[in-house]
């Protein structure tokens, strides 16, 4: 029986052990999580204030548990009495709350610190679980870098909630995240690190919002913004912000505008001098920002004295406030009172055309008030170029405050003048746009510049390139021609447009038909209309409508070709089968045709030149006689001669009344005006008569109505319309005056012959006069 009982007891013990193994042991609930309840602030050392709050959620314990918070090196809990370098403070005991309380009763560290009290770490019950599942028993340790406190379960089945505020001093922490270690004696809290702040270097960022532009003995506005990287960065531990200018520049009293976490009156300011005697602005933060980073906007002026150097004005930002980031910045520039001009696009425009757009250009003040209100600024073109009245240059303000208003145009249209208004606010840059000009055919191709003057300005800027609208080039060899012979061959040539549309189909706002003129020089006429053909491009001419007309009263001296349509592609015209009549007045050398007419020279231009290169008076506006290009088509190599080669040593000439043909030593020549009789005297063209008498053509001179003929030592002078003849300074009275016919000077042959030592023979039957020059 005993053995049976003993055996039974043994079995029960084994079963009990097995049962114990099968029954699960009591395990702790899931560990509570740790997090921050607020955003992580950036702080600049030294820092005294609140970092983010640590929050432990879902704390579930049975019995008690000790929780520890460990701070890193250089970060300390604020306990007891301490000083931030400026003020002293006393902490209050760790606060204990019991029962169901709201987080709204949380007492936090004031930033900036107010009064003589701040709050040490606190325990706050969970407002989301009422009643809270845990409560505080005791604060076990509160050392600079360690907080340990014990909590217990309230036995109500709710989870616990613990919030720990973090008032700290940060004086020597490593840059970067500030991490506290949170742990407990059991596994109720997930042990680990929690980031409660970030230690950053450079507590402020300084930004220029406006810069000053000054000249000697002037001032201008400047403003800059100082932004904290974190709340409380400035004003901790005292100190000042110093902003120093270089010599010859001074600050005005600043105006301070605060924003962000700064309370009213948080910053004081003054202006003084530094140890070098230079102007210094002093800012001091007497009430640090709280909650959010603060910003300081400074509005002031910089003044330059008479000796201020030109160039950038660099200020030095520094001082003794440990939270301020030292820097340098360009707060303005100092310059001379002047303007700079800059050319924009430089288009090509053409001689003889109107309403042509010139390039843009800018005028920029180096400093404000260079252009002074009440004064004027003028733009002047060179001779032969005029502003188009309906499209004067428009001064568009690019930057600054000044304006150029009320343009007026001079009577010759070469100068446009603007009134200067509203200067002085800031340096101004103008861009002149959409200006148009009229260019006379007299203007030499090249660069067109405009002169800028007024209000102390005297500069020039290029606004266009002037070119001939066409060029003309001989395409073959240059043939020789002889005076006194008709229908002699000239070279073929081409006329090439400089650009599409250079040869105009209409002028005068498109209301008038334009003509391309080919004009012969004095003494040369066309024997026929040459062959005219467009050989490239899409210019549309009407060669069949070409006419042979007079120029300056000389028949057949001009070919006028109507232009049907201007070109869209630059075109080339070929002119061939050129036939020229060369009279006896043409001198030895090149024979050139010129190109003009209303297709090349707009009649509204004010000055043109004739085919001999002479300016035509403005009032006549003989635009069809103006030209813009020329081409050599022949070379005259034979001049009229006397019996001894034209040196005046002998010869016989015969003139016939009413006949343009005459002979010299038996050879026949042609005049453009026939001899005639008047009051019993025979009148012949001066040039032909003088050359027949042995006078070199170069010694026949015309000036202001006075004709001078020189042969050897004899000088003969006659005045148009006058009866007087002067021979070597002695005056002789003729019985008939000197006349003109069709532009030719006609004089009594006998009087000229007697002055030059010639003899005469009149044949009434043949109406001829024979002059012998022995």
The domain spanning residue 543 has which CATH number? 2.60.40
> What per-residue confidence (pLDDT) applies to 225?
97
CA distance 115 to 105: 19
Over residues 190-222, the pLDDT tens digits come to: 888 999 888 876 678 899 999 988 888 888 899
Residue 18 resides in a domain: no
- 56: its two tokens: 């432990």
Residues 152-190: b if buried by 16+ CB within 10 A, e if exposed: bbbeeebbbbbbbbbbbbbeebeeeebbbebbbeeebbe
| Strand duo 480-482 + 627-638: pairing | parallel
Residue 16 resides in a domain: no
> What per-residue confidence (pLDDT) applies to 111?
35
CA distance 727 to 729: 5
Supply φ then ψ for residue 356, to 5 degrees. -100, 130
How large is the average pLDDT for residues 508-535? Answer: 87
CA distance 753 to 681: 13
Residue 573 resides in a domain: yes
Q: Is the pLDDT of residue 82 over 60?
A: no
Highest mean pLDDT among 357-366, 475-484, 501-510, 751-760: 357-366
Residues 630 and 704 grouped into a single domain: no
Residue 340 resides in a domain: no
Give the end of a domain, one of 444, 467, 490. 467
| Strand duo 146-153 + 327-334: pairing | unpaired
E-strand spans in 552-599?
Answer: 554-565, 572-576, 579-582, 589-596
Residues 414 and 327 grouped into a single domain: no
Mean pLDDT across the chain: 80
Q: Is the pLDDT of residue 241 over 90?
A: yes
- pLDDT-based confidence at 689, cuts 50/70/90? confident
How large is the average pLDDT for residues 548-576? Answer: 89
Residues 146 and 289 grouped into a single domain: no
Residues 189 and 55 grouped into a single domain: yes
Over residues 569-594, the pLDDT tens digits come to: 999 999 999 999 887 677 778 999 98
Residues 593 and 497 grouped into a single domain: yes
Residues 312 and 378 grouped into a single domain: no
Q: Are 600 and 470 in contact (CB under 8 A)?
A: yes
Q: Is the pLDDT of residue 227 over 90?
A: yes
Give the end of a domain, one of 176, 199, 222. 199
What's CA 550's distance to the chain center, in Å? 51
> What per-residue confidence (pLDDT) applies to 142?
77
Highest mean pLDDT among 6-10, 624-628, 664-668: 664-668
Residues 460 and 475 grouped into a single domain: no
- pLDDT-based confidence at 643, cuts 50/70/90? very low
Residues 625 and 729 grouped into a single domain: no
Q: Helix %, strand %, coil % for the chain, to 5?
A: 5, 50, 45
Residue 683 resides in a domain: yes
CATH number (domain holding residue 268): 2.60.40.740
- pLDDT-based confidence at 540, cuts 50/70/90? very high
Name the 3-class secondary structure at 13.
helix
Residue 685 resides in a domain: yes
CA distance 513 to 338: 49
> What per-residue confidence (pLDDT) applies to 650?
52
> What per-residue confidence (pLDDT) applies to 44?
75
Q: pTM above 0.95? A: no
Residues 474 and 598 grouped into a single domain: yes
How large is the average pLDDT for residues 649-673? Answer: 82
Distances (CA, A) of 209 to 221, 261, 296, 674: 11, 21, 12, 89
Residue 293 resides in a domain: yes
State which residues form the domain around 173. Answer: 33-199
235 half-sphere exposure, CB direction, 13 A CA radius? 27
> How would you class 306 by CB atoms within 10 Å of its CB: exposed for 0-12, middle for 13-18, buried for 19 or more?
exposed
Give the end of a domain, one of 143, 170, 199. 199
Residues 213 and 310 grouped into a single domain: yes
How large is the average pLDDT for residues 597-626? Answer: 53
Residues 143 and 234 grouped into a single domain: no
Number of structural domains found in the chain: 5
Residue 25 resides in a domain: no
Residues 148 and 250 grouped into a single domain: no
How large is the average pLDDT for residues 60-88? Answer: 77
């Amino acid at each position: 029986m005993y053995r049976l009982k003993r055996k039974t007891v043994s079995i029960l013990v084994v079963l009990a052990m097995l049962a114990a193994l099968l029954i699960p042991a009591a395990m702790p609930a899931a560990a509570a999580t740790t997090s921050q309840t607020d955003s992580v602030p950036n702080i600049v050392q030294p820092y005294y204030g609140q970092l983010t709050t640590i929050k432990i959620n879902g704390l579930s314990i049975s019995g008690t548990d000790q929780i520890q918070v460990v701070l890193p090196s250089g970060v300390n809990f604020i306990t007891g009495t301490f000083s931030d370098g400026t003020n002293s403070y006393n902490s209050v005991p760790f606060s204990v709350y019991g029962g169901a309380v709201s987080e709204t009763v949380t007492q936090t560290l004031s930033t900036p610190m107010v009064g003589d009290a701040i709050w040490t770490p606190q325990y706050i019950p969970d407002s989301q679980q009422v009643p809270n599942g845990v409560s505080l028993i005791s604060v076990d340790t509160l050392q600079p870098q360690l907080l340990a406190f014990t909590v217990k379960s309230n036995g109500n089945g709710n989870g616990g909630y613990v919030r720990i505020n973090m008032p700290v001093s940060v004086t020597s922490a490593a840059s970067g995240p500030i991490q506290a270690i949170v742990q407990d004696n059991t596994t109720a809290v997930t042990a680990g690190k929690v980031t409660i702040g970030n230690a950053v270097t450079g507590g402020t960022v300084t930004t220029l919002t406006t810069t000053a532009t000054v000249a000697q003995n002037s001032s201008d506005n400047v403003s800059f913004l100082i932004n904290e990287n974190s709340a409380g960065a400035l004003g901790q531990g005292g100190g000042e912000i110093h902003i120093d200018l270089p010599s010859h520049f001074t600050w005005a009293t600043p105006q301070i505008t605060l924003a962000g976490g700064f309370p009213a009156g948080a910053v004081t300011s003054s202006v003084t001098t530094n140890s070098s005697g230079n102007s210094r602005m002093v800012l001091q933060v007497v009430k640090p920002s709280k909650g959010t980073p603060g910003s300081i906007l400074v509005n002031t002026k910089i003044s330059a004295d008479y000796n201020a150097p030109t160039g950038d004005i660099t200020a030095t930002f520094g001082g003794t406030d440990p939270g301020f980031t030292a820097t340098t910045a360009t707060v303005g520039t100092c310059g001379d009172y002047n303007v700079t001009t800059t050319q924009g696009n430089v288009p090509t425009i053409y001689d003889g055309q109107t309403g042509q757009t010139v390039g843009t250009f800018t005028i920029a003040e180096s400093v404000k008030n260079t252009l002074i209100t009440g004064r004027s600024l003028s733009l002047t073109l060179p001779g032969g170029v005029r502003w188009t009245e309906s499209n004067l240059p428009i001064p568009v303000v690019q930057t600054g405050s000044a304006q150029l208003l009320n343009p007026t145009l001079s009577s010759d249209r070469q100068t446009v003048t603007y009134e200067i208004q509203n200067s002085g606010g800031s340096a101004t840059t103008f861009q002149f746009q959409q200006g148009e000009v009229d260019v006379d055919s007299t203007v030499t191709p090249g660069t067109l510049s405009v002169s800028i003057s007024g209000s102390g300005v005297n500069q020039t800027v290029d606004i266009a390139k002037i070119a001939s609208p066409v060029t003309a080039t001989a395409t073959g060899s240059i043939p020789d021609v002889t005076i006194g012979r008709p229908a002699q061959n000239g070279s073929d040539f081409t006329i090439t447009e400089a650009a599409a549309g250079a040869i105009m189909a209409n002028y005068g706002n498109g209301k008038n038909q334009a003509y391309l003129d080919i004009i012969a020089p004095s003494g040369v006429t066309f024997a026929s209309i040459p062959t005219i053909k467009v050989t490239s491009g899409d210019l549309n001419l009407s060669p069949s409508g070409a006419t042979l007309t007079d120029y300056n009263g000389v028949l057949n001296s001009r070919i006028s070709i109507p232009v049907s349509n201007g070109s869209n592609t630059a075109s080339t015209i070929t002119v061939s089968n050129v036939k020229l009549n060369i009279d006896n007045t043409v001198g030895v050398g090149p024979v050139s045709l010129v190109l003009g007419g209303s297709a090349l020279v707009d009649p509204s231009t004010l000055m043109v030149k004739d085919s001999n290169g002479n300016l035509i008076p403005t009032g006549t506006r003989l635009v069809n006689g103006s030209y813009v290009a020329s081409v050599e088509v022949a070379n005259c190599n034979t001049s009229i001669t006397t019996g001894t080669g034209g040196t005046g040593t002998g010869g016989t000439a015969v003139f016939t009344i009413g006949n343009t043909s005459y002979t010299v030593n038996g050879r026949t020549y042609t005049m453009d005006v026939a001899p005639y009789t008047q009051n019993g005297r025979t009148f012949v063209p001066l040039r032909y008569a003088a050359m027949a008498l042995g006078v070199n053509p170069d010694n026949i001179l015309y000036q202001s109505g006075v004709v001078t003929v020189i042969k050897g030592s004899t000088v003969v002078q006659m005045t148009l319309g006058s009866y007087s003849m002067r021979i070597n300074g002695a005056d002789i009275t003729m019985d008939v005056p000197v006349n003109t016919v069709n532009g030719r000077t006609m004089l009594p042959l006998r009087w000229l012959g007697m002055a030059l030592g010639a003899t005469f023979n009149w044949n009434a039957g043949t109406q001829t006069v024979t002059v012998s020059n022995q």
